[in-house]
Structure formats: C-alpha cells, structure tokens
Amino acid sequence: MIEAKNISKSFGKKLVFDNADISVADGSICGLVGINGAGKSTLLRIIAGVLTADGGTVTVDGEPIYENKRVKRGLMFISDDPYFDFDINGEKLGKFFSVMYDMDGKVFGHYVEKFSLDLKKPLRNLSKGLKRQIFIAVALACRPKILLLDEAFDGLDPLARLEFKRGIIELQESGSTVVISSHSLRELEDICDSFILIDRNTVKVCGKIEDALDNIFKLQLVFKDGMTKDAFVAAMTAGGEGVPSGADGADAVPFECLRFDTLGRVVTAVLRGDKNTVMTKIDGLQPIVADEIPMDFEDYFIEEVRRADGEGR
C-alpha cells in the first residue's frame, strides 16, 4: 500500500502541497488527476523517491521510499518526458532496464510486436508517441510491484491506448499497483478503480471512482414558470412555495447544488446527494421535464474543480 501522510512540499516560495494525505490500496489502478500545475508530477516524483517531501511521510507497505533500494526495486517511474541517452535505441533501453529490474524479455517482445516497434531506431528519431510506446513496453515487461506513470496517454494513438490499457489491466491482475496521472479522464475512467484529485495544494478527493459518480448527478429540468437557483435550493432544503415540506424544513433534503444553469425555463443542474431522495423531492416541485443526463468522470472532475474555484474557472 502506498501511503502519504501530511506531506508538504514547496519549491522556493511556491507551495505545492500542504498537509496532503493519500493512500493507494495494493492491486489497484489509481488515476491521479488535477488541473495543470496542481502537483500531480510532483506527487509522483515524491512517491518515486526522486524528491523528498518537506514534511510528512511517504511509505510503501510501511517502509519509507526515499533512498530505499529494497522498496525501489519493486517500483518503477516513467515520467512525462522520459530521459534517454542520445544514441540509445529501444533494444539498448530494454537492456538498461533489465539491469535495474527483473525484466521479462518475452513480455517485452510481446508489446514490441503489439505496438509494431522498431527497436533498432534511435529513440531521438522517433515520434513522441512511439517513444512513449517503447517506455510503456519496457515498464510492462519489468512487471514492477508499483508502476507510476506520468501523463501516461500523452501522444498515444487510439490503438496504442487500447493496448496500453489492456497491458495495465493485465499488470493489475498480476497483483501490481498502478498510479497514472493523466488529463485523459475518459481513459482513466476505463481502467481506474480509484482516483486522487489534487487541487489547491492538497488532495481534495481520494477514493473510488464508482462511489464518486454515484453521489453526483446531472439533471435537465423544465419548470412551467422557470426557476432560480435560490428558489430551487430553498425549496429543496427548507421547503419552498408549493413544495410539501415541514414548517422547519423537516423534509429538507441533504444535498449540494454544484451547478445551476438556466436557459429560459430550462435548468441544467448538477447535484450531489442521495439520488432517490433528491429525485423524490424534485418531483414535488412538479417540473414539466426531469431527465437525468449521464455523467462521466470528466464531468465530475470539472464540477469538483469549478466548485473549488467558485465558478471562477
């Protein structure tokens, strides 16, 4: 299990993390998400033992990572722009990593074939996507206990993404833990079972994607006379006009209105709370139309970050 407790990190005067806590369960695929500059790469570099946290602890199975050879033998980090020597090609890269890790040559060969890679060509002459494919092939062949990938889907074509996702799932099935940072949230949603959302110098949410999506939903509502946000919130929380409610808001529904956009009589609302209870309450408002619009991880991310920004973004 990867655990970080109360980690803080600054680069000069710039605070990146302040008392952030994370935990990634063994055998999970965890998506690391956040806006640009949120600190995703920094967090991965701390977990990889490249950087030290200014405060707090980062451990794998209870052992600190920094300068810990034993732990790092089972940990592999592929950065967003992985380094390679000027004259290195895929074959030499494979050899280098086989010196460092217990690399499975057959698995490497399998992915080289899947990605149709030319191992003789110098990496410097390859496109960004092909370079990444070679690093992915190496990473999957090394079968690390913990694989940390920064901007993992960057530059990959749809077919390569598919193979890559399959590879990650296979790795997970063999017991490995994978932490992937990416802005391709739909790709992450496909393979991740948990996520860490970093925002405003801290870990804002850390949990299962399923749970997060269960509690948040988007509705399209049409009211006969239109509806303002204040009126809607008042009706839902303390009993509004025409809404069956107790005098002291006894029927109030515990919910959070994350977004409330109106266009004429049409309302698009993103709400968080128990869906059934909220829907029953909304029915009491007698909307002409009340449709649920499917919400994915990207919508969830946008709503969370927007909420934090106070609609400023």
Partner 1 sequence: MKKYFLYELKKNAFAIGVIAFVVTAIYMAFVLTTFQSSYDINANVDVIAFIGGALAVCIPVWAFAYKMKKRSVDMYYALPLKRVEILAVKYLIGLLAIVLPFTVAYWLGALATFVKVSEANPDGMGAVYYIPYYFAALGAMLCIYSVSAFAYTRANRIIDGILFIVFWMIALALVVLFINRIVGAALGYDGFFGFVYSENPDGYYIFPTCFSPIAPLDYATRFFRAQLESNALISSDWFVFRNQRINMGVGFALTALCAVGANVWLFLGEKRQRAENVGQVSESAFGYKVMIPLFTVCLIGIADLIPLIALVIVGAFALTAVYRHSVKIGVKQAVVYAASVFVGITVDLIIRSCV
Does residue 120 touch partner 1 according to CB under 8 A? no
Does residue 48 touch partner 1 according to CB under 8 A? yes
- 216-222 and 266-273 beta bridge pairing: antiparallel
Site map (CB under 8 A) of partner 1, residues 275-304, x = contact: ------------------------------
Binding test (CB under 8 A) with partner 1, winner from 6, 19, 26, 81: 81
Site map (CB under 8 A) of partner 1, residues 196-235, x = contact: ----------------------------------------
CB of 125 to partner 1, least distance (A): 17
Region of 6 please: left (phi>0), alpha (psi -120 to 50) or beta: left
CB of 28 to partner 1, least distance (A): 20
Does residue 72 touch partner 1 according to CB under 8 A? yes
Does residue 143 touch partner 1 according to CB under 8 A? no
Closest CA to 301 of 16, 23, 31: 31
Determine the Cα–Cα distance for residues 36 and 243; give it in Å rounded to an integer: 43
268 CB neighbour count, 10 Å cutoff:
14
Binding test (CB under 8 A) with partner 1, winner from 73, 128, 186, 313: 73
CB of 73 to partner 1, least distance (A): 4
Does residue 90 touch partner 1 according to CB under 8 A? no
CB of 254 to partner 1, least distance (A): 43
Closest CA to 132 of 108, 109, 113, 157: 157
CB of 178 closer than 8 Å to CB of 26? no
Helices (H), 235-296: 275-284
DSSP secondary structure string, 129-171? HHHHHHHHHHHHHH--SEEEEESTTTT--HHHHHHHHHHHHHH
Does residue 45 touch partner 1 according to CB under 8 A? yes
- Contacting residues toward partner 1, per CB under 8 A: 11, 45, 48-52, 67, 69, 72-73, 75-77, 79, 81-83, 85, 92, 95-96, 99-101, 148
